[in-house]
Structure 1
């Protein structure tokens, strides 16, 4: 989410105010999309692409109030949510109907959208003047409508915010239904004058980052007709997993705090019952309740009929990539058409880490799924993955073919206190002991990853002779004996070796915002299409944490409900780790760390436990490209003196490539 809950470790960027300067309109013809080789071509040899032929300045700007059929604030009147619309005027005059790009958000009034924290603005009559982000400026001239929906209880909408629950999802779904002729909308909040969406063909694509992308996931999981595609960016797939992981609390507050933050003052005053429910039905015990079940979209992935273009930062410590991994796997099981971008950033929009390529890819995606253009985007490589700051590779499918879950086992090495990680199980009776220290975090542990220290147990491979790639979601099974009735566990995978990475721990979470601007469509005096450029913010490191996961040991018998532990009793628990795609280079080592509280990322237990690991019954299950054979190859033979000598292509369809300069659509 855009707002980090209180007590979290890493602050968000301080948003900048948009300088409302009018920028020059785009000139010329859009360049042939990058990476479109082999795509079907038009009569002049160019890939078919929508062109900016409609007037942005003369576009229709209007607001409608859509009936949700719910009464979340219990005032006896069906809640209406606001849909602010901008659409080209010419198609309707020509008798042509157009598709819709929709961003449903709770942030348009309270907090703003994007790197420059833009809000919607209105004239004295309430007609929309400016829409956040570039979607309107870029796509409206190309024959799309853009619809910005205020979720229930936010900005000018009725109802109450319920943090991903039925009211949130229903308020966005109701707009999709109205666009497809199945719902009712009105010209005012309380009036009776109906308005129809006769200008659209109903084909809708939802997009959004964080909370917005989460709602796109939720609406897609209803199977609503007319929703053709979604583009969830850094999005939640199950709200329980935003606040807890396997019983371990990830945030210092519950959903009531977020609801209170995004609600309008009027909604905050009338929604006390809903606020109370968000407290009472989301206990800090970490148990899965009916409230969390109603906010789990993964279980309904089989209903999804929309295609999905998912984007996530592998170092997103707000919406962890566990959300992406479980959603992606469920969509794959359901046979959903999908595409993915994975960056090295934290919680950052692709418009701010790979702008030109992102606008191009999004343009082709919407042209295909909303306009029906046969431009080859669905046959292009499924995955784009950032290998180093600004350097990307692609994969035909993701995870790539040949990826296989491989079991690695920790053991004590020949030197006392030094742990090893390999294919051979430890001898029965081998143990490692540590005491939870809530003052430390994964970065502290990684500094001494190969040692068993008083606060953690660490296990490492030998230096690799060849690159080793992990692609997908891992698990770690731990057998531990606690000394107290409560205990939290962390499991962390670390790449030990020097590298230059995006500095996801710094403000900006991997990007630096520059002063120069580029423009992505025509502007008006009240709605600029020009945005500040960014550059990678990098750090030279001696190690890189590549995946992590957490759990309350009390969930050993049930992931849904914790129970008190009996000191001195041995328990076995499997911890889910966040999805990733990472190449551990030749010459580096792969490490597994098992510890207690990961400061700033989970909350400590009520006691300070000492835990004894049974190493013979502890193991890591990693998605290795090439499986066990790749691990054996990478851990036999001498590590190269020149690390590049052991490197190979990361099993994609293209070598890593550096992001080219911004092409000519800048102003």
Structure 2
């Protein structure tokens, strides 16, 4: 789920925490300290210090107010006859409160604070003997509290010190955090203890709230923003879900061998485990493994409510995230754009990784500017900066004024037969009527196996390849592949992948760190206390030389060809279905080729069907709709003329092995 532990592709689901080089946002002086604890903040220097409008670390972190309150959610998910209260731990600067000045809030709501940890080092909340929070995971409190922000960390219902039940993206999850935003704005009640009657207000804040989080945490930010709650000014969802159906299924094809009940059980507190059986059963009953859309998924589809979003949105996602797959950011981004939401995006070559662990200094600086603008109201120009930062090569970033860039147009490319069975062409011309390719599903093989043999006739896939490109060809956004196929059995799954055929060095997203390596030295991002260090292990890129790169993929159960409800197939009958390929931004360079591969089960990325079908693809009624920068004209220009010379392919084609996800959790790392 959005929080998976490490990319060990086990079939059990565990969470992962995690989490431009143009223009440079400014430098933060990063001080490595031998002693992990320092109470004195080291001020930033360089370009950042030159900015006239920025919050400065003028308040004491060591003397900050640390307190806990329990906010009434107005729900009774566990059915005990009293409304559930969620635990809210707060760190805020003491000086503004003494001076009668109010501060804005940075809020993270998470189910992981006691079970699984946050960040690359899996930090947990810790408490002293009186129950006051000592350690807040991540750097947000260390860095932003001295700059005049409060940091608020919410235990989702049914986790850590909160009442209620975990309902995995449903009303209880979302209301856990929304109720806190309401309380910060004077619209909800909070108490000094979990069961007491002494009420407490939030007179220390101006109510202006920004939510941030990776995986499940960022997913809750999406969900709260989709309620349109007043006071929520911005959200920063990192590697986050926009529709929970699309976390578990792709057009009816199961992406995991477990459902939301597994995830709920993974994170819930002992109290919730003892009292939330009815909620668990609803998760089981409402999410059948047949991949059908049910009312449970409707209640967890934030994309449908994008028109309610009033907050600005800073989306961050790894383009090779095979935990929270990139369809989730793509459809959310498109819906936000359609509704005129102010937004920004960073896309990296990593998997399910926090930008703090692949672009640390730039990330902290950009996030600082973002919150300063949307929560403090500083006119620092962040909203006028380029909308998109894309990691084009390892640690090399490009920017776009808007994303997808101006001139991006959906372009229809069509497969056709080639010189050998299963080895076809990809171009603008429609295949003649009656043209077909046939393959047999082989659940033991995956997209890397298909890509390595794309130029060879093999029985498990059909591959279609452009000529060697004479100019770069850029794809930016979400693609679709429509397939008309005739199965030999009553069930069948389909996969479609886009591949850049040519040598490159990329982040090893299939490695244990999903594109990063963790070192031993530390850098510090604010002051520390005895129980809460601001110093984190440095990271670097985990690189791999490859001969091809799979950069977008999508899947479907052919039995869902009519829509939300699947049905048995009639062998020998053709069916047409459209696969949603995952959003990406990739340049296939001159000298490389673009390939479309259509096959059956993509091992470890979808579960196989009940049968082992052979499928015949009608090429005249099969096509790919790709968002190409420059549209059809760009494709024509890239496929004519004399291609440049490039380094020869490796003796044995290699790519990145697909990491095993199995039962995953949205958010670890």
Match of 2:445? 440
Q: Deviations over 1:45-85 (max 9, x none)?
A: 73311000000000000000000000000000100000000
- Structure 2: any 5+ residue segments left out of the alignment? 20-33, 649-669
The equivalent position to 1:186 in structure 2, one of 184, 191, 194, is: 191
**Which residue in 1 is equivalent to 2:263?**
258
Match of 2:605 in 1: 601
What SS does the aligned partner of 1:73 have?
Answer: coil
Q: Distance in 2 between the 1:400 and 1:75 partners? A: 53
Deviation string, structure 1 residues 405-454 (Cα, Å, up to 9, x no partner): 00000001245542100011111101100000000010011001234420
- 1:271 maps to 2:282: no
> Aligned to 2:382, which of 377, 381, 385?
377
Aligned: 1:545 with 2:546:
no
Q: Return the alpha-carbon distance in structure 2 between the equivalents of residues 62 and 604 of structure 1.
A: 50
Residues 152 and 161 of structure 1 are in contact (CA less than 8 Å); yes or no, is this contact kept in structure 2? yes
Which of 613, 621, 624 is equivalent to 2:625? 621
* Per-residue deviation, 1:638: 1.2
Equivalences, count = 631
Shift, 1:369, TM fit: 0.0
CA distance in 1, matches of 2:147, 2:281: 46
Q: In the alignment, which residue of structure 2 is the partner of 1:497?
A: 502
Q: Structure 2: how far apart are the matches of 1:20 and 1:482?
A: 65
Distance 2:365 2:206 in 1: 24
1:3 is matched with which residue? 4
Deviation for aligned residue 1:264? 0.4
Query: Which whole-Å CA distance do the structure 2 matches of 1:8 and 1:228 have between them?
Result: 39
Q: How does 1:195-210 map to 2 (within 5 A)?
A: 195-210=200-215
CA shift, 1:24, in A, is 6.1
Tell me the CA shift for residue 27 of structure 1: 2.5
Aligned to 1:650: none
What is the match of residue 22 of structure 2? none
Which of 399, 404, 424 is residue 404 of structure 2 equivalent to?
399
Could you state the TM-score of these two structures normalised by the residue count of structure 2?
0.92
In the superposition, the TM-score normalised over structure 1's length comes to: 0.92
Q: 1:8 to 1:411 in 2, by over 3 A?
A: farther
Shift of 1:28: 3.5
Q: Residue 572 of structure 2 is aligned with which of 568, 576, 582?
A: 568
Match of 1:610 among 614, 618, 639: 614
> What is the alpha-carbon distance in structure 1 between the residues aligned to residue 623 and residue 334 of structure 2?
22
Residue 237 (1) aligns with residue 275 (2): no
C-alpha contact 2:67 2:91 (8 A) present in aligned 1: yes
Whole-angstrom distance in 2 between the partners of 1:70 and 1:14:
28
Instruction: Give per-residue Cα distances to partners, 1:123-155, cap 9 Å, x unaligned.
Output: 001011110000000000000000000000000
Is the CA contact 2:436–2:616 (under 8 Å) kept in the aligned structure 1?
A: yes
Decide whether the 8 Å contact of 1:10 with 1:505 is kept in 2. Answer: no
| TM superposition outliers: structure 1 runs of 4+ over 3 Å | 4-16, 28-31, 414-417
Matched residues in 2 for 1:594 and 1:305: separation? 40
After superposition, give the CA deviation of every residue in 1:263-307 in whole Å (9 maximum; x if it has no partner).
Answer: 001110100000111101110010010111000000000000000
- Change in 2 beyond 3 A, CA 1:201/1:55: same
* Structure 1 unpaired stretches of 5+: 35-44, 645-667
Give yes or no for the alignment of 1:32 onto 2:47. yes
For residue 413 of structure 1, give the secondary structure of its aligned residue in structure 2. Answer: strand
Contact 1:478–1:574, Cα closer than 8 Å, also in 2: yes
Q: 1:330 aligns with which of 316, 326, 335?
A: 335
CA positional deviation for 1:20? 9.0
